[in-house]
Every structure is written in structure tokens, then in C-alpha cells.
Structure 1
């Protein structure tokens, strides 16, 4: 789940199987009357094309492509490519395919599958084919395209906390140009990269893999993708792990504000840790630490530090550089070094952290993460605000929730507020009646997907079970808690969920 450039989330391609109306069938998992705001009643689903598997990355991986309709309302129309990767189960008692998604939206499931194929426990890899795919618009699939690298550099430096009319105008102009560029460079696909579209793609993938049920691990935004699939195809749900959940019932404005609060909670935890170590370089108390960080951001707003010769380290760059390492407690030492350097007048480390967040390589090239992120978010929910006056009205509540980040995340709502393609989704609860047990995992001090969101999704899902990690960082599985990992592994291997409400340290 990414922040700043999209509504919520703040952290990665040929022959059609459909030859006309006579070959169209209705998915067996989609039926019933949708809830208010839910996706429309199931569209006829085309027969899935075959996946064109070929050896890649050596003999242990296969790479493939699947073609799917750009618009499921027109299954015989234009097609788009979905990129996949698979590492087959290594043991004799194969359960099926475990499809994985790392979140974003915009994160590469292909890259995440490479990670999962080496880092998920051997017991899981023995019994599942690990399958990753880049959702439509992302990475190795047909991607959303927007700005040139130089233009993206300028966009990421826009003042997200405008102080006067000229700065407001620059922010609105920049956000508007960003959306128009995405529409112009991507073409018709930009209107069909919603989470509902991606969930329908997942059912095409399931069918092409030959699996009666979809087994799925989704992190961060990937939980929303998984929950949406369960809503559309409840009868096709196998074992679902949704780690670091998104609450689908929230408006964009509320989700942005609560996410700002999640990052504030994580920054508080970082401050407490610094103070507890004795002689914290930022101050002797949490309040002093936060005040010093906020003062640094204000100083950079007034007078940026020199950067790489092309970019200065202004408040916008520094804010992203601070947010980025809050995703994981393991990255707190990087944040410490970056803040220490900035206080000495050296902004290079904050700039590096900013570039990690935006997936900007050392040669200045941006991956399409943030382009896909905005395109998906702006379709999934109506915008948080469409005018500067609406943002100004929201700022006090945002700042109350998050004194450090609230103002910036309030103004970030204009990305979707100026988006040229109307939203197709609405906030709504997801119940997925008839789905098999779904395991929702939440972390109490998660910065990007606040714990209350996991509680909410688990309560909404008719078959939801909540597993809690009392800890820091974004998501919980494979973060160092044996209790969490054991419970998730047991569920994936046996289908038995832990007791609802179980808490781990």
C-alpha cells in the first residue's frame, strides 16, 4: 500500500480463449445481489486462454503470459497481457497453486513470487506451486505509462503543503498534468485497471492454472484484491491469507486520514525507541523528538538542502524519505542515519530513501509503481477532494490525526481529484457469503494499513478470522514472529484457521 500519490495506498503479456457469445459462460462463483457500492452482478466470463509457459530465471522458474479482455463487459473486444511466473511445488503432496500479491497497488507479483519461492517456508513451497502475476497496468504486464523520468522528478518535488496561492496553483497544475499524461500515454486501458478488473483476471488465472479453487496470499493492498475476488467469486475461494488489511468500507478521505494516523503511530514508536536507548539525538522525550522532526520539515520547506545536482531535498522529498523506512522496524536505523545527516546539512540519505519509495533507480529511471498506483486508486474510489477549498476544509482533521504527515496527505487527495477518468468503485463492506474460511492478519502498529482496518475486514467477511500481531511494521508474516508464521503456515497446509482473535507477539 503506497501513500502520497494515490487515494489510499502509501509499498511491482496470445490467443484469446473467447471466440464469441457462444463460448461465454458465467463463473460458478458469482451470484446474488451486490451490496450498495459493490461491483455489479457478475459479468459473463470468457473461457480462459492458455498460459504460454516458458523456462525463465534458470530451470526452477517458468514465465508465462495470459491474455484477458481489457473490458469484461466486452469480452470479445480488445485484449491486454498479464505476465506470470511460477515455481512448481517441490514435494509429492501438492495442494495446488498459491497465487501471491505484494500490494501497492502497483507492486509486482512477479517479483514477489521470486521472493516467496525462496523465503516462504519449505513446508509451504513443497506443497504449493508459487505463482505471481503483475496485475493489469503493472510492471511486466501491459503497464500504465505516465511521465518521462525528468517530469517525474519534478512531480515528486511538488510542494505537498502549499502555503500560498501560487503553491496551490502549482500543485493543482502538476496533479492535473500527471493524470492527463497517464491517460494519453496509456490509452483505453487506463479506464480498466480497477481492482475489480484485476480480480476478474485472477479468476481467469485460476482457470488457466487448472485449479478448482484459488489459493491466495495477499499483503497490504493485496488484501483488498483478495477480498474483492472473494466478493465476486465466493465459491472459488480456497485458502486465503490477507495480511495487513485494507477496509473497503472507507471513503478515500477517511482512508487517507487514517493512514496518516498510522504513519504517525509508527513515528511515535520510532521516537519511543530512540528515547529508550538513551541520549536520543532528536531529544529526550517523544514530544521533543516529534517536534524536532516537524521543525526539520518546516526548515526544508523554507530552504531545501542540496541534492543530487538535479533535485533539491525539500519538504516533499524529506517527508517521503521519512515515511519510507517506517514500513519496517528493520529500517529504523536507516531513518536515524538519514535524519542525523540532514541535521548536519546533508540530505543525500533522505533523497536515497525517497528514491527507494518511488522505485527510482540510480540512473534516474522510475518503475511504473506510482503510475499504476494512482490509476488503480483513482478508479477504485471517488476522490477525497476535487478542489483546493475542499482540501483546506479537511486539513484540520488530518492534522489532528497526524500532526507530522496529516497536511501533506490531505493535499495528496488532489491526485485523484484531478484524475481524468471517473471512478468506477465505491466504498462498501465486503461479506463474501459462502466463501471458505479467510484468514485476516493485522499488526497493531502498522503504519500503512492501520490495525483497525484488519479488524474491520475480518468482521465484515462472513468467514473472516482475525489473527493479530502485537508489533511494529507493515504486515506480519515472516516478520520474526514464530507465533504468526506457525499459524499462517498451518492454515495454508491444513485449511484450519487459528482461533478468531488470537494474538501473537
Structure 2
């Protein structure tokens, strides 16, 4: 299978993962002193009484049995069961993996956390990096619950390709020039083969990993955890999951924080265009910072515009003549763009771009491949740490209505992308091909969510967020009848628990005391 990828919206990752050369600097740890935990944490969860259809009663009435996690010290693990098809509860079930850190003080309730994606593991997020996921004041008063949504990780999970085939899918190169009819045919064949593998290895689950189904799972988890209303902290894609929940169950919204918001009304192309512009703006911010240093790999004489032109020339160069890594893989423009984008999620990681651009300019591919591997969840031994790539595609292909794959229309859209983001836009184009011929028809609608009747919902937007641009938070807060915008003037993806005392104070006062800002605090 010749692997060629058209760009669908890039997954939004909450934090930088550790892989290969990044391990020492970027690994996140979840070590928590044992004295912070109650001596006798609850080992069962008593579900609340819910008025649901008889067919759903066994699911809503299940009692969770919590056991010490095998590989996570100080936390408890459990598995919940949800209907495979919420419209036909008798058609089978899926497992949902949960991890819980009990509140260390007087408990207010459970706080469910989702790190983003789609395809990100909430279980790993809480188990491996609890202090990064949630601030200590919230850990005192809430049971912090991480969960893997359906299709993801330890839950009933999507499976598609083995490691070698995934390498080919993610890093393989096209035989035809980008954008030509031959290239389009290669992409369509590649996506079709990927989808067929997912259908063969995932079965009926593949058609039931949409966000609406995951939001209904979220309501089930709320009930079996014993909470009358949902308390939820969602990052990035997790904001779309949380907003979808609010739209379905406005009367059951407790305290919801949606950080790094996605606009639920934005089309696939709208998302791609906004992300292309967002990452290009973040790249400009990095270059402006870089050019003020003596060790910057770009000449100061050309300014930011000159450095941006150099980056585009580098992308064009490896697109025409890929570089070969020491393991035999080749670095093309798609993998290089992934390597560039990954450190742009956080200014703390911008220094990796210095080494990236220096090494590629010298004809070396290994460092760029390591960065791309970290984004793609590929370990140094060639295996993949999780199924986030498969889940990302499967969920998106259900959530987004199919776009036109007419070559003329796609080329016109690609011209729009390049005009909006001249450096990277063309390398994020042809996104409609990403789900062409997918085995299951999309079920999602891109439309506004109002959640009429819901309690106040905090929506956080960062002005320099490249993955979920600030205007999406403005839009979502405006759509939600009870939305409250919290703006953070800064760079990077998401804002809570990342150094802003203002944002942290607003979020924690809301979760702990129900305090809602009377106006945007403009942190």
C-alpha cells in the first residue's frame, strides 16, 4: 500500500508526549504522595436513580467495582458498560475504562476529564499526569476520573493496521506529484484500504464511535458515578464532547469547563483553514522569538518574512526530494510538517524547532522523524503506543459530513488555503479525501449548540492557540445560552493549569464555589 495522506483537521493534543529524544524533557509524571489519598476510598459507586427507558435501565443501574490499578499507584480502576448502539441497546455493548483518584478532602463529587483528540486517552492523562491534568485544589475536593471514550485505548477500541502498515500509512510517499489526478487516486486508494482494515479488525464498533454516542456514554458515567449533574473538564476536542453533552442534556449540566474550544458549527474545511492560519501564526511567533537570539538557525537579515520563506522552501525541498533516515524511512513534506507543528503547541517546546530546522537543512532526517513519531505515538522500537491515529480518523469520519471530492472543487479550496496560510496551507489541503470511501456513512452535523436551560458553562480561549484558534472559543461561548467566555492573552494550546494565576483562579473558584465571572476576565 502506497501511503499518501490528505490533511484532515490535525488532532489537538493537550500535552507533549514523550518519545525517543524527547523523553527526558517532555515526559509527564503522575507520581502523587500516598498521604493525599483517603485511608478507605470507596470501592463501589452507587448509581443515582434515573428515569430512563427499560432497555437502558440495566446500564444506568450498574454498580461500579473499583480495584487498585495494576500499574498506577494510589488510584482505582473500574470498567463500565454502555450500549454499542444507543438507539438499539439490545444490539451489544462496549466497555469504558475508568481510573479514579479519590478526593483528598471533603468531596464535592466526581470531575470527569477529557484531554482531547479525538482519540486521546483520558485514562492515561489522569493516571500518568494528574498534576498536569488538574490543579491540586480540585484534587482535594473532587474524585478526578479519567476515561477512555468508546473506540479509544483501554476501552472497546478501534483497531486497523499493524505497526509496519501504520508506518507506510503515516510516512509513505506518493508516486505522483501532489495535487495531480494520479496523486488524488493514490490518496483515495490509501484511505479505502485503511478503512477496509478498520472495518475488518473493528467490526460493528467502527460505525458507533461518533461524538454523540460518546456524549451519551458521558451521561451514563455521570449516573453510575453517583452524580446528579455532570462536572466536567474538557480540553481541545474534549470541548466538543462537553458541548455535545450540554446540547443533549442541558438540565444535567453541573460545572463544565471547556478549554481550547472547538466551534461545533465549523465545517471540515473551516477547521482546516483556521488551523492552517493558527499554526502559521504560531510559527511566525516562534520565528520572531528565534531571530532575537544569537543561536537562531535563520539569518536575522531576512526578518520573519524571510525566515517563513525559508521554511516553505524546506517543505518544498523535501516534498520534491525526501531525506532518508537512519532506519530507512523517508522524510517527506507531510512528516516534516507534522514535526514542525508538534512543538508549536507550546512555547516551552519551541527550542526543539531550532534543532529541527538545523538538522533538516543539513540533510538529516532523524530528529524530524523523532518529532513526527512523538506526535503520532510511535515508539523508538517502531511500535505504536496507542490507537490514537485509528481512533482519530474513525471518530472524525463519522462526525464530519462528507465533503466534495471533485478535483476542481478541492483544488479551488487548496488555493484558498494557500492564500490564507502561504507557508503551510498547501500541505494541509485536500482534506475531503481523508474519509473518501469510508466504510460507514457520517452521522454528525456541524451546527450550533445552544444547550438552552443549562447552568453556566465556562469557555476558555487562548489568543495565540494554534490548534483551536481563539475565535472558536468566542463562537462557542456566544452559541451556548449560558456560555461564559474566559480569554487568555498568550501563546500555546489551552490555558488552565499552565501557569496563568488568573485562569487558574477563575476555573478553580467556579468548580469549588460555583463562582461565575460577571464578564470576561481577560487574563
TM-score normalised to the size of structure 2? 0.87
2:520 is the alignment partner of 1:501 = yes
- 1:192-211 counterparts in 2 under 5 A? 192-211=208-227
Shift of 1:212: 0.7
Matched, 1:189 2:216: no
Question: Aligned-pair distance for 1:324?
Answer: 0.8
Secondary structure of 1:383's match? coil
Residue by residue over 1:184-214, the C-alpha shift from the partner in whole angstroms, topping out at 9 and shown as x without a partner, is: 2111111100000000001110111011111
Could you tell me how far apart the structure 2 residues matched to 1:374 and 1:386 are? 17
Counterpart for residue 140 of structure 1: 154
Aligned counterparts of 1:415 and 1:4: Cα–Cα separation in 2: 6
Change beyond 3 A, Cα 1:213–1:4? farther
Aligned to 1:276, the other structure's residue is in SS state: coil
DSSP 3-state at the match of 2:95: strand
Separation in 2 of the partners of 1:233 and 1:48? 18
Q: Is the 8 A contact 1:81 1:142 kept in 2?
A: yes
State the match for 1:34 in structure 2: none
Q: Is the 8 A contact 2:461 2:486 kept in 1?
A: yes
Q: Secondary structure at the match of 2:317?
A: helix
Show CA shifts across 1:16-40 (max 9, x none): x9xxxxx98159xxxxxxxxxxxxx
Q: Which runs of 4+ in 1 moved over 6 A?
A: none
SS state at 1:154 partner: helix
Match of 1:249 among 252, 258, 265: 265
Using the TM superposition, give the Cα deviation of residue 250 of structure 1 relative to its aligned residue in structure 2, in angstroms: 1.0
Q: CA deviation at 1:426?
A: 0.9
- 1:441 corresponding residue in structure 2: 460
Q: Distance in 1 between matches of 2:413 and 2:508?
A: 42
- Going from structure 1 to structure 2, the CA distance change for 1:175 and 1:10 (only over 3 Å counts) comes to farther
Equivalent residue in structure 1 for 2:276, among 246, 260, 263? 260
Of 104, 115, 124, which residue of structure 2 is paired with 1:102? 115
Deviation at 1:389, TM superposition (A): 3.4
Q: In the TM superposition, what is the alpha-carbon distance from 1:375 to its structure 2 partner? A: 0.7
Q: CA deviation at 1:283?
A: 3.0
Following the alignment from structure 1 to structure 2, what is the Cα–Cα distance between the partners of residues 158 and 382? 27
**How far apart are the structure 2 equivalents of 1:351 and 1:8?**
17
Q: Distance in 2 between matches of 1:391 and 1:181?
A: 26
Instruction: Note the 1:108-147 alignment, pairs <5 A.
Output: 108-115=121-128, 117-119=130-132, 120-147=134-161
- Relative to structure 1, the CA distance from residue 417 to residue 152 in structure 2 (aligned partners, 3 Å threshold; closer, same or farther) is same
Structure 2 unaligned segments of length 5 or more: list them.
Answer: 15-45
**SS of alignment partner, residue 147 of structure 2:** strand
Query: Paired residues, what number?
Result: 477
User: Higher mean Cα deviation, 61-70 or 401-410?
Assistant: 401-410
Normalised to the residue count of structure 1, the TM-score between the two structures is 0.90
> Could you tell me which residue of structure 2 aligns to residue 225 of structure 1?
241
Secondary structure at 1:330 match in 2: helix
Deviation at residue 76 of structure 1 after TM alignment: 2.0
1:276-312 C-alpha deviation (Å, 9 max, x unpaired): 3356322321101110011011110111112133311
1:362 aligns with one of 380, 390, 411: 380
CA distance in 2, matches of 1:55, 1:256: 42
Change (3 A) 1:245 1:397: same
* Aligned counterparts of 2:215 and 2:332: Cα–Cα separation in 1: 39
- Which of 371, 392, 396 does residue 377 from structure 1 map onto? 396
Map of 2:441 onto structure 1 = 422
Residue 305, structure 1, aligned to residue 323, structure 2? yes
- Aligned ranges 1:48-197 → 2 under 5 Å: 48-56=61-69, 57=71, 60-91=74-105, 93-115=106-128, 117-119=130-132, 120-159=134-173, 162-197=178-213
- Secondary structure at 2:522 match in 1: strand
Q: Is the 8 A contact 1:158 1:170 kept in 2?
A: no
Distance in 2 of aligned mates of 1:149 and 1:59 = 30
Structure 1: give runs of 5+ residues left out of the alignment: 18-22, 28-42
Matched residue SS, 2:463: strand
**Does 1:273 pair with 2:286?**
no
Distance 1:109 1:369, change over 3 A: same
SS in 1 for 2:90: coil
